[in-house]
Structure 1
């Protein structure tokens, strides 16, 4: 099966692709490119990770008699399986990243390689993990490095100004002779931990959700199904906050915490399967916020029912401010995301909310990002043990509208910077 010709820009016929990832022939005798990990072959995982990282094209170098088999695993990806001797036909990219065949990479690490700064016609080299090349005139030298059975990295060092760097990190995995599929599974799950996870989420929720995801990944349960199931768990816990009794509030708090844990599974499943979608992001995002609104509302009603007649209206007022602040913040973030998508004309995929700020993080945006995490759920559970879950409503009644106002301020500040 002959790979398709690369798409050539009408504006610049020499520009085959803006960014190109080249994967050298596989060297590990035990783990082949066609070996499936969580239902997706290693070759396809690399191709899809590169696509998510923004690479325009991926070349999987392989022996001529293996091109057909490898190509079957690359359908609907920007990747082609080709023989090294044909690589010159595809070298037109300005940014070229070369990976050894025994290196696995996640999208975040590949994104950093694609955007890393270097001088024209020079190379950043970590022989164990990757080479990053910025080409301008020396594309022939790059093509010649793949001729013969020598080491392409050594050949490139003779042709390009080279800086030796360390590109190691948790986003890459070097496959060794003793590496097993289970080792790759463990590494893939470790890549799912987010920098934005709160402290308690990192030590409690994420390890549990990753274990659950490990058992769900080979089933037919979809990420969207987990989003709906997680929200249902959270909503089922909300009515328990209508009571002032600790035993009922603890049940509500446990269901609320379970919702938070299971809520991590949908994104984990989607990222492991490369099935992220905007619909999935919306289900996840609004499912969370609907659960928060329901919990705050039930806290307010329950507190009002158990309060004295003279001040029973105050919990309802507090509940309204918490609910309106939550809805306002959620709607505003959603609107900003849609506006950004319309401006960039990119297909919306993945989570709706990742950060308060859309550009560089200021001190206030970092504080808001911290407050947006779900560690507060464990405070609700702690207060519930004493029948005082309603105390959290006081914090929410103040914090939710203040958070909304600060969101507006961050958006205004970013817009002001862009207009300068």
Structure 2
């Protein structure tokens, strides 16, 4: 699969003086770099970029694509001041016999959209990604509106009276799009949406809903700020517990938005969080309240920072299986150290042997939560189901440790951890047995 990116326009509404729109910086990368890297994540290695306004700056900034692990071909559109249909048509000689993604240089999106799009049955013409949740649209009056009936596009345009979706600026096309543009231009209509309307009349343009995925069209400074907020919000994980959703992510994403501009890798963050966790565990060893309370606060810091490595990996396009493995292994060591040191420190003060039994149960349950998840995903080759469960995720466990440390209730804390974690492990095993 190849990709055609339109980056020829002037982008006057973004009000830039010293930069062209697609080269505007956005969380560590330019807009155009983000489009390229998101598309690369979907397996695309061959790019055609149509340039026009200040096109030399785009070529200088991106080069031949080697540093992104792709190959970039540039196509000059001498008529870039006209409708964007001319920019698409400029690539006809290169792609008229291909099936390709058509993307806008100022539209950000999750790479999973292209993965799903490429897997969709498609007989030809144009698949148009649409958003049917109109409440998500930041600037609806300026959006390209679409009327969709059973995946068929019945009308498209900014000023159509009846609509139930908007065009997201992401397309899967065949060479038919070029013929439609040529016929549309011959009739005095040189915008891409007008060619799509022509295809729709022949039932060769269909809608592909992406309402559950992140995407954003950036046109103005307000759009740019809102896009940053939404992209950071999209970094949440399906596995986030209640503490992560209500507290941790609100802080960690702000930290990550600043770290993304630094030369720091996700793995380096994983190691940093690990050593902070070791520091917290070492404070528990004394058994004295002041050190236990301080350790508890640091534990909550660990819980917050624990999300930053994954967030940076997503923002910097550095996700890897090794990185996920390293993070998981280091987390398990920290979990074990926290419970072991908390148990030992308090036992050293009170001398109650029952603490060891409760601490051992808490440790077994905490590790059991992680182990059952890993074994499920290995055995069933799918993510662990998300649904009703006992709150025993790592963010919840660390929050309980923090509260228990501040309240100086170590025994109660360990007992709660033991009950919650082991009960959740048992619940999982019973449910999974029923499902086969």
- TM-score of the two chains, using structure 1 as the length reference: 0.73
1:389 match = 410
CA 77–179 in structure 1, closer or farther in 2 if over 3 Å, else same? farther
> CA 1:323/1:166 → structure 2, altered by over 3 Å: closer, same or farther?
closer
Q: CA deviation at 1:26?
A: 4.3
Shift in alpha-carbon separation, 1:169–1:87, aligned structure 2, 3 A: farther
Query: Is the Cα–Cα contact under 8 Å of residues 88 and 143 in structure 1 kept in the other structure?
Result: no
Q: Is 1:129 aligned to residue 168 of structure 2?
A: yes
Is the partner of 1:359 in helix, strand or coil? Answer: coil
Alignment match, 1:23:
5
- Equivalent position SS for 1:173: strand
Q: 335, 346, 363: which is aligned to 1:323? A: 363
Q: Flag the structure with higher strand content.
A: 2
Matched, 1:142 2:147: no
1:98 corresponding residue in structure 2: 102
Match of 1:34 among 3, 12, 23: 23
**1: CA distance, partners of 2:195 / 2:348:** 78
Alignment root-mean-square deviation, CA: 3.7
Supply the distance in 2 between the matched residues of 1:370 and 1:394 (Cα, whole angstroms): 15
Determine the C-alpha separation between the residues in 1 that align with 2:390 and 2:65.
Answer: 38
Q: Identify unmatched segments of 5+ residues in structure 1.
A: 1-16, 341-356
Task: Kindly indicate whether the alpha-carbon contact (under 8 Å) linking 1:300 and 1:319 is maintained by their aligned counterparts in 2.
Answer: yes
CA distance in 1, matches of 2:391, 2:247: 17
Partner of residue 348, structure 2: 305
- Give distance in 2, aligned partners of 1:281 and 1:369: 24
Segment of structure 1 superposing worse, 288-297 or 120-129: 120-129
For the 8 Å contact 2:125–2:177, the answer to whether it is kept is no
Q: Does the 8 A contact of 1:213 with 1:269 survive in 2? A: yes
1:366 aligns with 2:401: no
Once the two structures are TM-superposed, the CA of residue 271 in structure 1 deviates from its matched residue by 1.7
Q: Deviations over 1:169-203 (max 9, x none)?
A: 77222111445866654444333233433333233
Tell me if structure 2 keeps the 8 A contact 1:26–1:62: yes
Report what 1:253 is aligned to: 296
Contact 1:141 / 1:156 at 8 angstroms: preserved in 2?
no
Aligned residue pair count:
370
Distance 1:272 1:324 in 2: 34
Change (3 A) 1:120 1:333: same
* 3-state SS of paired residue (1:276): coil
Q: Determine the C-alpha separation between the residues in 2 that align with 1:409 and 1:21.
A: 47
TM, length-normalised to structure 2: 0.70
Matched, 1:52 2:4: no
Aligned 8 A contact 2:128 2:206 in 1: yes
